[in-house]
Structure 1
Amino acid sequence: MKWVYHSNFNADESQYRAIGNFPILPIKTNHKGPAPKADPNSVDCIDEALDFFKANILFRNFEVQGNGDRVLIYLTLYITKCLLKIANLSKADAEKQLFTMAQEQFSVPGEAAFPLGGLVVIPNTRDAADTMRQALTQLRLECGVRLVQRCYTEPARPNKWWICFSKRKFLGKAL
């Protein structure tokens, strides 16, 4: 697809540690995890996913051009799940709900319920699977925080121009 937005982290793949073909990209966060700290003035993979979300969610196909795209796809699916969860909540309730949801038990590659089965390589050791779970938890925590910042211009309810995308299914999948 030539109109889909791809990750800018595809170009620098060898620069980042990866588990299988899923990179551990630097992010701007205070949450503990395996991801390295990103420059506070640069765009990280979460900013990228939030910036590209409204355009990419409209597509049913997405040609993966690099490992950075795998993170972008995962975050796009996670943002959709978050929007469904916060559709009728106040800002304070949304923050609590997304924090709880980020730490819930979820599937990682190699488990039957993982939605990106053919897209992400199964970790070869238990330690690698644990590291991937920690990295995904870190991404989910920070993504939830930033999504609330973008969605709520007023504390009472989320912006309708974000919530209107919650019913769309990216790639026909859901987390």
Structure 2
Amino acid sequence: MPAYHSTFLSESDTSNRTVGNMVLLPFKTKFRGPSYPTEQEYDIVEEVLDLFRANSFFKNFEIKGPADRVLIYGILFVSECLSKLNKTVGLKEATRILNNISLESFALPGDIGFPLSSMYLPPANKNEAELLRGYLQQLRQELSDRLLKRIYVASDVPSKYWLAFSKRRFMNKSL
């Protein structure tokens, strides 16, 4: 059974800006950044959260376009977020932990510490690097915010169905 790919592959070719070989897809957000908001209910952030559990079982992933690279980065970030949480963490503490993770410094494609350097092209110049950093920061913030809403649905206790995936490693990689 093949892995699930992004439904935004067709959109990534025409209307959106590309930095390196990663497309900057719009998504609904309340955080500041270079991504322009969209009115669509289903965006790349929802897709990452929907496909995370299914794709986390795969060790290989064929990249079919720039939108798949955004999907891969998002899945690896969600995996990192889940690895920092456990059964005893309440909503308030989890919010603090995930906000710190999403705001901490991270490596970009082309940097020494970036784990997926073979799949991502580095930005062409410093302006593109800053644009990509801002986009990924905004994506990380929105992913952590929506992830919290899915994990802590009814109570102050995280969902065991999400925490069960904290030890899975998509493509044997981690951010």
Secondary structure of the structure 2 residue equivalent to 1:9: coil
How many residue pairs were aligned? 173
- Which residue in the other structure is 1:158 paired with? 158
Letter in 2 for 1:120: Y
Letter in 2 for 1:77: L
Letter in 2 for 1:97: I
User: Mean Cα displacement is larger for which, 115-124 or 139-148?
Assistant: 115-124
Tell me, in whole angstroms, the C-alpha distance in 1 between the residues paired with 2:156 and 2:27.
29
* 1:108-163 Cα distance to aligned partner (Å, 9 max, x none): 01111111101111011111111111100000000000000000124432100000
Displacement, 1:75?
0.3
User: Which blocks of at least 5 consecutive residues in structure 1 are unaligned?
Assistant: none
1:53 matched to 2:56? The reply is no
Letter in 2 for 1:11: S
Tell me, in whole angstroms, the C-alpha distance in 1 between the residues paired with 2:3 and 2:158.
26
- Which residue in the other structure is 1:128 paired with? 128
- Which residue in the other structure is 1:29 paired with? 29
1:80 matched to 2:96? The reply is no
Tell me, in whole angstroms, the C-alpha distance in 1 between the residues paired with 2:16 and 2:64.
16
Tell me, in whole angstroms, the C-alpha distance in 2 between the residues paired with 1:156 and 1:33.
30
- Normalising by structure 2, we get a TM-score of 0.95
1:168 matched to 2:168? The reply is yes
- Which residue in the other structure is 1:43 paired with? 42
- Which residue in the other structure is 2:104 paired with? 104
Secondary structure of the structure 2 residue equivalent to 1:111: coil
- Normalising by structure 1, we get a TM-score of 0.95
Secondary structure of the structure 2 residue equivalent to 1:10: coil
Taking only the aligned residue pairs, the percentage that are identical comes to 38
- Which residue in the other structure is 1:4 paired with? 3
**Cα RMSD between the aligned structures?**
1.1
Tell me, in whole angstroms, the C-alpha distance in 1 between the residues paired with 2:20 and 2:41.
26
Letter in 1 for 2:46: D
Tell me, in whole angstroms, the C-alpha distance in 1 between the residues paired with 2:100 and 2:169.
23
Tell me, in whole angstroms, the C-alpha distance in 2 between the residues paired with 1:12 and 1:156.
38
